[in-house]
Amino acid sequence: MIHLNITGHTVEKLEDPFGLLSGDRYEFFLELEVDEEDELYSEKGIGLRAIFVSDEKGEKITNSYLYEQENEKVLDFALEEDEEALILAYCKEHAKES
């Protein structure tokens, strides 16, 4: 399990210039604090990019990946269910800021 703490973020509402997609989409870049003992830890910093969708079917994360903040190298780690729930709740709370 990856023990993570969200320490900050940037969010941008994504525009659908052709009106093909329903609902609203937001791109989040989350800054994460990871314990030094965790295999995910990096001195370069860890971030998570997530696409959050809010439409008539509900709210969900449709795409996400972890990366090193210093060089934006994508990391091959998957989030567990409780971590996905934490990210989803965070995005729901902060989506309207953009």
Domain ranges of the chain: 4-97
Residue 73 DSSP label: P
Task: Identify the pLDDT of residue 54.
Answer: 95
Averaged pLDDT for residues 29-46: 89
Highest mean predicted confidence (pLDDT) among 23-32, 36-45, 77-86: 23-32
pLDDT at 1 over 50: no
pLDDT, tens only, 70-80: 999 999 988 88
Give the phi and the psi of residue 46 in degrees, each rounded to 5.
Answer: -120, 135
pLDDT at 62 over 50: yes
Cα 60 to chain centroid, rounded: 11
Task: Identify the pLDDT of residue 98.
Answer: 66
